[in-house]
Structure 1
Amino acid sequence: MLNRRTFLGSTAAVPFLSLPAVAQNRARVLRYVPGTNLTVLDPIFTPAAVTITHGYCVFDTLYGVDAQMKAVPQMAAGHSVSDDGLTWEITLRDGLKFHDGEPVRARDCAASLERWSKRDSFGQALGAATESFGFKDDKTIVIKLTRRFGRLLDAIGKPHSSPAMIMPERLAKTSPTVQVTEMVGSGPFRFVQGEYVSGSRMVYEKFADYVPRSEAPAWTSGGKVVHFDRLEWQVLPDPATAAAALQAGEVDWLATVLPDLVPTISRNRQLRLFRGDPYGVQSVLRFNHLLPPFDKVAVRQVVLRAVEQLPFIQSITARPEDGEVCRSLYPCGMPGVTEVGQGVMGTLDVEAAKRALAAAGYNGERIVILNPTDIATINAHSLLVGDLLQRIGMNVDMQSLDWGTVVQRRISKNPVERGGWSIACTNWPAISIDNPATNATTRGQGDSGWWGWFRDATTEELVQKWLSAASAEEANATFLAAQQRALEMVPSVPLGRTFSDGAMRADLQGALAGSVQMFWNVRRG
């Protein structure tokens, strides 16, 4: 197999993959390489970016967002709100149909919102203010609130982690703690279940009965017009292998490109780099709050103060402009975010951290770090975390796994002796964690929240206060208080914000900006 060193030293890639798509009509097949394997198909069950990318192929949402991040109708034709603000009616647009041939009904949407509201952090905030997700007739969804919730459309229209995707009622009735595996949505692509081979291949076909909106597409809104009959995902874990396949014309689009491969791709006129997400991603070290030693806030504070972000940024970016130190648990550059961690984060050297760790009550507990070796960025961060913790005196057990196994392992609440874990690194699109309600890395929901299960009543009170703020001034003050509380309690440790590129064949046109790759509007020029 062609390795990374061989690729970088060559001037041309030699075709080496045997993909079924190569023999097909190139004009009608779009061939894509995701950043990692697709192991979980249910976009409500996990916020993993590869699953959300898959989700937008198969499912649609009642509202999407435009280029200004404003919620606009998607499956919905529109909505009305009662004078007291407690009853919202959302009307479905005409022509909506599921992939099994059944029409989309309001009852499907109500059941989908109900399930989503038990899983997603913003959804849970909405659910706490909701009496019922119901319906009046086949075209009218009725949401009855117990108190005003002015950000309702922002919640059900948010673009990432996890969007409120609509599925048939029979699937939406699945417990939110159980994965849905039957993929029936109403989105622009139909998932070909019979051709799905985890770790190798995923296939989607254009859904002939999908009726796009008439508006121009932007982010997750507007007309989702598909110009290919088939979309084929090929899992190629080695980045150089994937880049060589792109250069050889055997695939059309790579989700990610390693920084040291960027110059080679840039020199090839048949290829171009593509930066879909202008807001970047925030990398995060996540603690398991249920197990020692990170059930102690003092121990978490030591790690926060010992982490210097610059090495983490430099491990995954080649150019200084592609990374940003951000001393906040919220992504810098987003409205209302302040670097409240100035003078706190990255202030302990190794010897000082050793002393602080002993004073914090660390007793030599084994620290299991889940390290996905098939995602270069997270792998680099996991190794850096492990090295730092070892140097400050922690008993580190680095467990190298594939990403799919990490996704499964990190939801385990078992002790480390029985398959549990202590730390896992990941990253989030900045747009998906930009306020107190959506930022799963800081929410204090305990068992019902993001893996790691941080529980803090004060944080949740601030979320509710922010959601119900009567003025912009009150909302801004509450947001600042939420940022300061996160710095104090350390539910996670931010590792910096970065911007990365994908790559595609130069003849592909129309790719849209978004927090994940979207395959409508793309055509071959």
Structure 2
Amino acid sequence: MKKTRTFSALRTALTAATAAVLAISLAACSQTGGSTTAGTSASGDQTTFTYARSAAVTSLNLWTEITSNNAFAIDKIFEPLVSFDKNGKIIDWLAKSHKISDDGLTYTFTLRDGLKFSNGKNVTAEDAVFSIEQHQAEKDAALPLTADIASVTAPDDKTVEIKLNSPYTPLLAELANFSNGIVPKDFGGKSEDDFFANPVGTGPFVVSKWDKSGDLTFTKNENYWQKGKPGITKLVYKLVEDGTQAVNQLKTGQVDGIEDPALENLDELENGNDTKVETAGSWVTHTFFFNTADEHFSDVHVRRALAYALNRSDVTKAVSFGHADTAKTVLPKAIEYSTQDSIKPVDNDLAKAKEELSQSKYPSGFDAKILLASGNNAYSQAAQLLQSAAAKIGVKLEIESVDIATFRSRFKAFDYQIMINSAQADYPDADSIIDFQADPDGFSKSYWTSYSNPEVTAELKKAQVTPDGDERAALYEKIQQTLADEVPYIPLYSPQIVKAVRKNVTGLEVLPNNSVRFQDVKIG
């Protein structure tokens, strides 16, 4: 049977990390340190890349422990049959080709020739079958395969066949997730715990040294299938918890790159003598969510009034330092079928805001609260802008800031009226966001808004089984316009994915899920 998608740990962690990047730092302390010679890395040579990260890697289990600090170490070790490029397009990876049957029920993958694990052993289709079945069986899987899979088999050493009980178009995109990386059958004779303590995969790097409260050092996988890659022989994930220190270490050459540089530092880094930034579009949208079960926000005219009162572009300008796009729809532009460029949003029209409120149950206004997690200055600024906009139409909003644990428990219990949070696609398919934010029967009950529209539900279910093409595009176009009109949430902005590196670094590939590929990196 089709599995129910759960609330992804990665979704929480990635969006929290992105939000943290958008927060404004309050201090600018300095740190001394000698600069490196041009043409060398932080280690003093051209073969080691040192990457500053704000959190340590605590686990390498690709099925369960996948907060962002772990996820982007895991994807350097394990690789899936298919993956995606910086534009979110699905590409063959460990599979050299794939085929989907006309009825959408059979997916056939042919492995590349000469694939080996990092220990030198051949990769076979049986390894892929084992990996997918283990993922399916993992009761704590944070990113489960949600298709109704009938069987996973290996007709021969090079062929993997997945049969479905019913069509499910997002399957290929789900398989591109790093959580569907290939591991050796039976963990190469080890226990699962022992295997993930010293993992073997097909990725470009191998774990060399690992401090779960500090740094992680990778070395080059000498058996990597992309010949001549990676260009670097060592990759160091250096724990630098303070963002200002990370910037100073990049400027002085103590690190070669920063995973999440603060946006207020980007102009300085982009125009620095020895630094530059690399960007990509993201799968994240920061959003105001309405609890549509609340007496006030069950009224569509109230929701539309607040949406019309707010100028989303003002929010984007206030928090993003020019590194975000104002959102008009729930789907970021980096996801196929986004109608960002064509949708008609409910936005920035004070006269219409007043008209909508006059048609509501509360024409004279009312009092309500905006719930947000403390410590996020970007969200605080956005809440203040909504507060100010609402006041112009007679709605008094109080901002309630709570610690992150309380925030999560509150919104998951539907104990809020308005909240500001973020939505992150787990894989490059429109369903990853639409299903999560518009299905009242799903795990999150339409992302904890209680929003329900039977027509939208039917359309999203149809889109899940409709092959990619014009018909599927039309379904998602209609869904997005309905969501824009009924305003269960106000999409605010989609931030760019931004990495900062030394100017002598080339070949870094920034991905829309906030990860990077180091295969083509060169220093000097």
1:5/1:152 CA distance change after superposition, 3 Å: closer
Q: Structure 1: give runs of 5+ residues left out of the alignment.
A: 172-179, 215-222, 374-378
Normalised TM-score (structure 2): 0.71
* Structure 2: distance between partners of 1:24 and 1:91: 40
Aligned identity (percent) is 16
Q: Which amino acid aligns with 2:419?
A: I
| Whole-angstrom CA distance in 2 between matches of 1:362 and 1:260 | 37
- Residue 521 of structure 1 deviates from its aligned partner by 2.0
Distance, in Å, in 2 between the alignment partners of 1:389 and 1:121 is 36
Deviation at 1:232, TM superposition (A): 1.9
Q: Give the equivalent residue in structure 2 for 1:521.
A: 520
Q: 2:128 aligns with which of 93, 99, 106?
A: 106
Please give the secondary structure, in 1, of the residue aligned with 2:437: coil
Aligned to 1:296: 298
Alignment of 1:208-223 (within 5 A): 208=221, 210-214=223-227
For residues 74-89 of structure 1, the aligned pairs below 5 Å read 74-81=93-100, 84-89=103-108
> Quick one: which of 504, 507, 515 aligns to 1:510?
507
Q: 2:91 maps to what in 1? A: 72
Matches of 2:465 and 2:366, distance apart in 1: 43
Q: Name the CA shift for 1:479/1:71 in 2 (closer, same or farther; >3 Å).
A: same
> Is 1:205 paired with 2:209?
no
The 3 A distance-change label for structure 1 pair 370 and 4 is: closer
**Of the candidates 410, 416, 423, which is equivalent to residue 419 of structure 2?**
423
Q: Deviations over 1:109-158 (max 9, x none)?
A: 3225536999788943xx14x33344446654321123445664344236
Q: Secondary structure at the match of 1:475?
A: helix
> Which of the residues 224, 249, 252 maps onto 1:245?
249
Q: CA deviation at 1:475?
A: 2.5
1:324-339 equivalence runs, <5 A: 324-332=325-333, 336-338=337-339
- The answer as to whether partners of 2:249 and 2:255 remain within 8 angstroms in 1 is yes
Kept in 2, the 8 Å contact 1:326–1:496? The answer is yes
Q: Distance in 2 between matches of 1:480 and 1:261?
A: 37
Contact 1:204 1:230 in 2 (8 A): yes
**Conserved? CA contact 1:411–1:451, under 8 Å:** no
What letter is aligned with 1:188?
A: P
Q: Distance in 1 between the 2:65 and 2:315 partners?
A: 25
CA 1:447 to 1:289, structure 2 compared with 1: closer, same or farther past 3 Å?
farther
Whether the 8 Å contact between 2:118 and 2:224 is mirrored in structure 1 is: no
In structure 1, the residue matched to 2:443 is: 448
Structure 2, unaligned runs of 5 or more: 1-24, 36-40, 188-194
Partner residue, 2:383: 385
Q: How many angstroms does 1:241 deviate by?
A: 2.4
For 1:490 and 1:433, locate their aligned partners in 2 and report how far apart those are by CA, in whole Å. 24
Q: Deviations over 1:445-500 (max 9, x none)?
A: 64435853756454342223234446844223212211123224545421123436
Structure 2 distance, partners of 1:395, 1:293, is: 17
State the alpha-carbon separation in 2 of the partners of residues 297 and 309 from structure 1.
Answer: 21
CA deviations over 1:51-94 (Å, ceiling 9, x no partner): 54333223211112346654332122434555655322324444
User: In the alignment, which of 461, 466, 473 is matched to residue 464 of structure 1?
Assistant: 461
Is 1:98–1:168's contact at 8 Å kept on the other side of the alignment? no
Task: Specify the SS of the correspondent of 1:331.
Answer: coil
Query: In the superposition, relative to structure 1, how do residues 76 and 432 fare at CA in structure 2: closer, same or farther (>3 Å)?
Result: closer
After TM superposition, give the deviation of residue 272 of structure 1 in Å: 2.0
Match of 1:314 among 312, 317, 321: 317
Structure 2 matches for 1:208-287, cutoff 5 A?
208=221, 210-214=223-227, 225=230, 227-238=232-243, 240-275=244-279, 277=280, 279-280=281-282, 282-285=284-287, 287=289
Query: Over the residues paired in the alignment, what is the CA RMSD in angstroms?
Result: 4.7
Alignment partners' CA distance in 1, 2:111 and 2:345: 51
- 1:11-64, CA deviations, whole angstroms, 9 ceiling, x for partnerless residues? xx62299xxxx9966544322123667678666568865554333223211112
Give the structure 1 partner of residue 32 of structure 2.
14
Give the number of aligned pairs.
472
Distance in 2 separating the partners of 1:415 and 1:134: 42
The superposition leaves residues 367-422 of structure 1 with CA deviations (integer Å, 9 ceiling, x where unpaired) of 5322454xxxxx31244225634854244320245xxx69x946973465xxx996
Matched, 1:397 2:397: no
Distance 1:381 1:330, change over 3 A: same
Q: 2:450 & 2:119 partners in 1: Cα distance?
A: 38
Which one of 113, 117, 123 corresponds to residue 97 of structure 1? 117
SS of equivalent residue, structure 2 residue 76 = helix
8 Å Cα contact 1:331-1:434 kept in structure 2: no
Note closer, same or farther for the CA distance 1:479–1:35 as it changes in structure 2 (3 Å cut): farther
- Secondary structure, aligned partner of 1:381: helix
Is 1:153 the counterpart of 2:152? The answer is no
CA distance in 2 between counterparts of 1:230 and 1:389 reads: 46
User: Which of residues 356, 359, 363 in structure 1 aligns to 2:362?
Assistant: 359
Kept in 1, the 8 Å contact 2:56–2:215? The answer is no
Instruction: State the one-letter code of the partner of 1:114.
Output: Q
Q: Deviations over 1:331-371 (max 9, x none)?
A: 34866443576362233589889878873999867653224
Q: 1:183 to 1:459 in 2, by over 3 A?
A: farther
Question: Which amino acid letter does the alignment assign opposite residue 30 of structure 1?
Answer: F
Please tell me whether the aligned partners of residues 174 and 427 of structure 2 are also in contact (alpha carbons under 8 angstroms): no
Give the Cα–Cα distance (whole angstroms) in 2 for the partners of residues 235 and 399 of structure 1. Answer: 26
AA matched with 2:33: P
